[in-house]
Every structure is written in C-alpha cells, then in structure tokens.
Amino acid sequence: MKTTWDIFCTVVDNYGDIGVTWRLARQLAAEHDLAVRLWVDDLSAFARLCPEADAGLAQQWQQGVEVRHWSADWQPVATADVVIGAFGCRLPVAYVEALALRQPAALWLNLEYLSAEDWVEGCHGLTSPQANGLRTVFFFPGFTEKTGGLLREASLLDRRQALEADPTARAAFLAGLGVRPEAGARLISLFAYENTQLGSWLDALAEGEEPSHLLVPEGRILADLRVWLGEPGLGVGDVRHRGALTLQVLPFVSQDDYDRLLWCCDFNAVRGEDSFVRAQWAGRPLLWHIYVQDENAHWEKLEAFLALYRQGLSEAAGQALVELWRAWNMDRDMGVAWREVVRHGPELQAHARQWCLRQAAQPDLAMALVQFYRNSL
C-alpha cells in the first residue's frame, strides 16, 4: 500500500504558495510513488498553473495527484501518514483533532519559506510540541547541506539541456508564444510585483547599445508597464518598440512552459519563491523581486542570499549584481546598475551555471522530505 501524504496550501501570494506545493505534490507522486492529496483553498489560482484543472470541482486528479478544494465547510476525511502544512497555514481544527487520535502517529511537517539566513540551518528539523500532545517539525528548504534543499525534478536539468542543444525546438517553443526575436537580441523575461523602478530599467534597455526583447507574462507588473508606455489598454499579445527595446506581453503559462521560457532567455527577472528557484535551475543571470515584508524585514533575507550567491564572483561583478538587486528591491534608479551588470555579463553567466551545478549536487526537497519520513519510522 502506498504511503499517504496530505499537503495543505492557503493561497496568499497569488501563485507562489500554490506554485511550490503543486510542484512538490506532483513530484512526490511521480518520482516516489506516493498517494498525494493536495488541499487548496483557492482552486482558481491552481487552475492558472494547471490549465487542465477545473476550478469548480471539489475533487479531481491531476498528474497523479488528488487535488481537493479546502473549503470553509470542512468535512471529515481519513488522515494521512505524512501531513505538510505549507508556509504557516493552519490545518482544519477537525483534521488536527483526528491526527491526535491517529495510530500510528502521523509525521506532521511545517514546510517553511525559503531563506539563506544563517539561523535557518539551526531551526531545520526542530520539533514543536502542541497542546494536544502532537508534535510538528519545522522543515526549511535551503541552499546548504544543513537544510532541506530546493525543489528539483529528477529530469529537470536534462530537459533544459536538451532544449538548449536544439535551436529548432527553442525557436518553435517561442513561436508558439508568438515570440520571434531579432537575431542577436538579448532575451529577457520579467515576472515581478509592482515596482516603481521599472521605468528606469526600461529606459536603460531602450537606450542600450544592443537590442533587448523583454517578455512579460501576464501579471501584476503589467500595470507599471502600461504607465511607462502610456497605454492603459496594453494586454496579452501586444508588442511595442522603444529604441533598442522590444516589449511583448505573453499569456500566463503553465509551470512547465514557464520553465522553458526561463531556459530560452538570457536574463530572468523573477519574484517570490517558486519562480526564484526555477530561475536558478535555468542557469542564467537573474534578478529577484523579493516579497515585501513589514519594516523592510525582507531586505535581510535578500542580503543573506546575495552574500551566499556572490561567492566565487570577482569583486566588480559581485558588486554589480548586488547593486542591481538592491536598486530593484529598494526603490533606487536601475539605469547605472543595469549597465554595470551588462558589462560583467559573461562572468555572471558562467557563475549562474556553476551555482546551478552546486545546488544540483545536493538532495532535492522532495527527496529530503521522503528520507526524513523514512528516518522517522
């Protein structure tokens, strides 16, 4: 009989929370032969990531995963062998009560947000006793061997390399999105939160010596793009030209197609957690728009990652990268910072490849979770 896993997800940040949990659920089912049930409180967000899904169904099976609507009107169900509460979400009270009566006891994990901060290593794997006698375990994804690793399907890097080695397949994929970049153009993807510094970056791209083709999947940054262009009606499929810059709005795509988009680009601007990790697996220079927290607490998280990621870069290239990320996330002008990053482009490209390989040498998050469960038996 297959081991049963329940994953609970509350959709808070548009697609970040469901993006991570959906990738994890289908990997656990596909690669580890587990019976996985994904509980989601907002199925409309899930359906954007999985176009085959029906947001109106309370129960459905997608890619080997049982997807259930986590409604306010909770109905009793059998508990699972392993229970994951993602990103601090509160499990249904009745489900927790059932866990307290379960024999043998389930493994209850709190899957935490990704961070490179030093304290994460000390908290990964710690238990937290609950008032009803249960224990939860904090499980932290991360970038070092003392954490839970990153989400990475077994075939991911092989699939990326296959696309990179096949110019015809790459061109066909882009053409399917309506993208036909001019020869020699720098291809950039942009998936971000609202950002007042978008205009200064677009100005720098438009004034650049080399052509750039910016691909913007439909999302929150589109409002700022409309302001810069002065076109309130700008939408999916529209293409605009300003100087050396071509702008193109793409439809919202599935997770697998988003991976391919990242692989096709020379530089990727991403946001949150899910696309941040996928951009690292793309092996390209990247720009991270971190989720804003009260009192700018997110800056510490940003600086912690930069301190780790820049190791191995020359001082000049590392500083150029740091200044670009700070400008994007701290409301500073992007123009000078972008031109410095372009100057160090080859070194940053080689470094992105090496970073990807170093991370791939560690166990992935799904494998780490499965091994943790086995060790708990």
Q: Could you give the domains of the chain?
A: 4-150+363-376 (3.40.50), 156-360 (3.40.50.2000)
Residue identified by tokens 């839970």 is: 148
Contact present, 263 and 280 (Cβ < 8 Å): no
> Which range has the worst mean pLDDT, 122-131, 136-145, 148-157, 262-271?
122-131
Does 55 score more than 80 pLDDT?
Answer: yes
Alpha helix ranges (H) inside the chain: 16-32, 43-49, 93-101, 119-123, 156-164, 167-176, 198-206, 222-229, 255-264, 274-282, 298-309, 315-329, 335-343, 345-360, 365-376
Whole-number Å distance between alpha carbons of 146 and 143: 8
Specify the pLDDT at position 132: 84
The answer to whether 273 is a known catalytic residue is: yes
Q: What is the pLDDT of residue 137?
A: 97
Q: Are the C-beta atoms of 65 and 25 separated by less than 8 Å?
A: yes
Residue 159 to residue 306: CA distance in whole angstroms: 28
- In this prediction, residue 121 carries a pLDDT of 96
Structure tokens at 260: 């391919």
Backbone angles phi, psi at 297, to 5 degrees: -65, -25
**Residue 321: pLDDT band with limits 50, 70, 90:** very high
DSSP state of 125: T
What is the overall mean pLDDT for the chain? 95
189 phi, psi to nearest 5 deg: -100, 145
pLDDT at 131 over 90: no
Angle of helix 156-164 relative to helix 255-264, nearest 10 degrees, comes to 50
Alpha-carbon torsion (25, 31, 32, 33), positive or negative: positive
Task: Give the HSE-up count for residue 49: Cα atoms under 13 Å, Cβ half-sphere.
Answer: 23
pLDDT band at 14 (very low <50, low <70, confident <90, very high): low
Cα angle 16, 19, 21 (rounded to 5 degrees) comes to 110
* Beta-sheet pairing, 59-62 with 65-69: antiparallel
Residue 291 near residue 86, CB atoms below 8 Å: no
The pLDDT of residue 209: 93
Q: Which burial class, exposed, middle or buried, applies to 137 when counting CB atoms under 10 A from its CB (0-12, 13-18, 19+)?
A: middle
The residue annotated as part of the active site, out of 6, 17, 153, 203, is 17
Sorting pLDDT into bands at 50, 70 and 90, what band is 112?
Answer: very high
Q: Which residues, 6 or more positions from 74, have their beta carbon under 8 angstroms from its beta carbon?
A: 92, 93, 94, 95
- Is residue 31 annotated as a catalytic residue, yes or no? no
Percentage of residues in the chain having pLDDT higher than 70: 99
In the predicted model, is pLDDT for residue 298 greater than 90?
Answer: no
Q: Given pLDDT bands bounded at 50, 70 and 90, which one contains residue 161?
A: very high
The pLDDT assigned to 13 comes to 63
Which pair of tokens denotes residue 181?
């970049």
Given the residues 6, 41, 273, 274, select the one marked as catalytic.
273
Cα three-residue angle 272-275-278, rounded to 5 degrees: 140
pLDDT at residue 296 is higher than 90: no
Buried b (16+ CB within 10 A) or exposed e, 40-70: bbbbebbbbbbeebeeeeeebebeebbbbbb
pLDDT digits 0-9 by tens, 142-157: 999 999 999 999 999 9
Q: Does residue 339 carry a pLDDT above 70? A: yes
pTM for this model (two decimals) = 0.95
Instruction: Report the 10 Å Cβ neighbour count for 346.
Output: 10
> Model confidence over 60-83: pLDDT tens digits?
999 999 999 999 899 999 999 999
